[in-house]
Structure 1
Amino acid sequence: MTAREELIADAFVQLADTLVAEFDVLDFLHVLVERAVELLDADAGGIMLADQRGGLEVMAASSHEVHLVELFELQNEEGPCLEAFRSGLAVTRPDPAAMRVSWPAFTERLEEAGFASAQAVPMRLRDEVVGALNVFRVTPGALSDSDMKLARALADIATISLLQERSMRARDRLAEQLQGALNSRVLIEQAKGVLAERGGLEVGQAFRALRDHARRSGTPLAEVASAVVHGRLRLGR
């Protein structure tokens, strides 16, 4: 087995392992983004999930800039992630010209962020689409066929894992958990701002500080963020 094959196998094992007492949806989604960027010919990535009303929300991103690009995509209702979610199909374009035809405003914003290519795959099991995985490249052109297949496989195993968790805990329980994750996302953004202002950290460093503390202490990200926002915890350089 090659080193890349070992990385792929490890990623699938990690994404399939949701049978834990305190399954953290946000951390799981960030792991999915990290593995996608690591294994694909990609430079960044993000995930959108459907909320209880069927709308999409940005739930994970590999950087603050990517998070802003994803928000722009939602606000302007234009881009590959939305298209993948609505169609249930993988979405890509061969070059920037084709991207500008399909998504003119999104492509302009993407290029401002330093990227020249974007594609997305649905997080789907049969007829149920729960979200989409977006990957970005700084070089133009679509992912190779083999990388697109791997992206779909990563999204599929993540979707199966999420739905398996839901079936174990009951449908309403996971819907509540996903909504809770969305609410936690707001709290985490506030905590990142606090750390950026008071702790002298960049936005990306602020999130890593929150996540590292959560993992070391065994505390959910939302609780760490709440402690930072309310002054009960100080993190810095």
Structure 2
Amino acid sequence: MSEQPQITPSTRATATASGREQRVADTFVALADTLVDDFDVLEFLHMLCDQCVELLQVSAAGVILLDEHGGLRMAAASSERAELLEVFAVQNEDGPCIDCVRTGAPSASADLTADAFRWPRFAAAAHECGFHAVQAVPMRLRRQVIGVLTLLKADSNGVHDASTRLGQALADVATIGMLQQRAIGNADLLAEQLQTALNSRIIIEQAKGVLSVHSNNLDMDAAFTALRGYARSHHQRLSDLARSVADGTASIPEILAHHT
């Protein structure tokens, strides 16, 4: 019988690091592949948030964008709690994410309880949502800021420097890709796409509510998972499917089957 190779902590760590590097590479490829003509901005931003949670050792992530009038709007989040917190930050104009998008510079708190004096309303809301540390990185190309990527942690030991750097790299790739769409088309393309995405988010919230009402115990996160899963498997735009759910023309049972 041939001798089996010995698995040591060192080889296990090497395999783990190699696997993570592959996931990072796959994520950048996926972000690039999504940026085709007429790409779905909302799906793109949700994928960005999900990959941040997957790769950066954070509990949740969210994106806030500047709309065509310079106002702030919550665009995407990896969970319902993160979405609620980002909406709260926009409504109250308080938090590291707001500072980040206004200044174009990263803003962070390793312990929001200790930093409550800086962002009193945001810190209290974050605590209610189960988050105790935050890192906000700008979605910016040179002087042009289009939004902010917010990384949230449930514990209060801050977001690691390596995760922050990778988060900034992901935000940079997303920003470059979205700005590139404007260069491909006309000067108003990006503004139109972002505004459409922000308007579509309202329809998605309505669709999540419809799916939740039509099920016995489906929460809003699971409702979104079902909506997104059905859209992907049937090659539909997320916003188009949400609109058909909201207006009652979609098959609710078929969509709900995708929530696991």
**TM-score of the aligned structures, taking structure 1 as reference length:** 0.95
Change (3 A) 1:94 1:207: closer
Q: Summarize deviations over 1:47-105 as a string: whole Å, max 9, x none.
A: 01110001111110111111111111111110011111011111112323442121111
Matches within 5 A, 1:211-226: 211-226=228-243
- 1:207 is matched with 224
User: Are positions 1:231 and 2:230 aligned together?
Assistant: no
How far apart in 2 are the matches of 1:222 and 1:94?
35
* 1:180 aligned residue (171, 196, 206): 196
Rg comparison, structure with higher value: 2
* 1:163 aligned residue (160, 179, 182): 179
Q: CA RMSD in A?
A: 1.4
How far apart in 1 are the matches of 2:208 and 2:151?
23
- Name the SS of the counterpart of 2:135 in structure 1: strand
Runs of at least 5 residues in structure 2 that lack an aligned partner in the other structure: 1-16
- 2:64 is matched with 48
- 1:36 is matched with 52
Q: Taking CA–CA contacts closer than 8 Å with sequence separation of 6 or more, which of the two structures ends up with the larger relative contact order?
A: 1
How far apart in 2 are the matches of 1:48 and 1:19?
19
* 2:84 aligned residue (63, 68, 85): 68
Do the aligned residues in 2 keep the contact of 1:42 with 1:137 (CA within 8 Å)?
A: yes
| Deviation at residue 226 of structure 1 after TM alignment | 1.4
How far apart in 2 are the matches of 1:110 and 1:151?
20
- 2:30 is matched with 14
- 2:137 is matched with 121
- 2:126 is matched with 110
- Name the SS of the counterpart of 1:2 in structure 2: helix
Matches within 5 A, 1:81-92: 81-92=97-108
Do the aligned residues in 2 keep the contact of 1:90 with 1:120 (CA within 8 Å)?
A: yes
Paired letter, 1:154: L
How far apart in 1 are the matches of 2:29 and 2:229?
22
- Name the SS of the counterpart of 1:96 in structure 2: coil
Do the aligned residues in 1 keep the contact of 2:113 with 2:132 (CA within 8 Å)?
A: no
- 2:165 is matched with 149
Do the aligned residues in 2 keep the contact of 1:210 with 1:221 (CA within 8 Å)?
A: yes
Count of residue pairs brought into register by the alignment? 237
**TM-score of the aligned structures, taking structure 2 as reference length:** 0.87
| Deviation at residue 18 of structure 1 after TM alignment | 4.1
The percentage of counterpart residues that share the same residue type is: 46
Do the aligned residues in 2 keep the contact of 1:123 with 1:132 (CA within 8 Å)?
A: yes
| Deviation at residue 199 of structure 1 after TM alignment | 2.8
- Name the SS of the counterpart of 1:101 in structure 2: coil
Do the aligned residues in 2 keep the contact of 1:46 with 1:62 (CA within 8 Å)?
A: yes
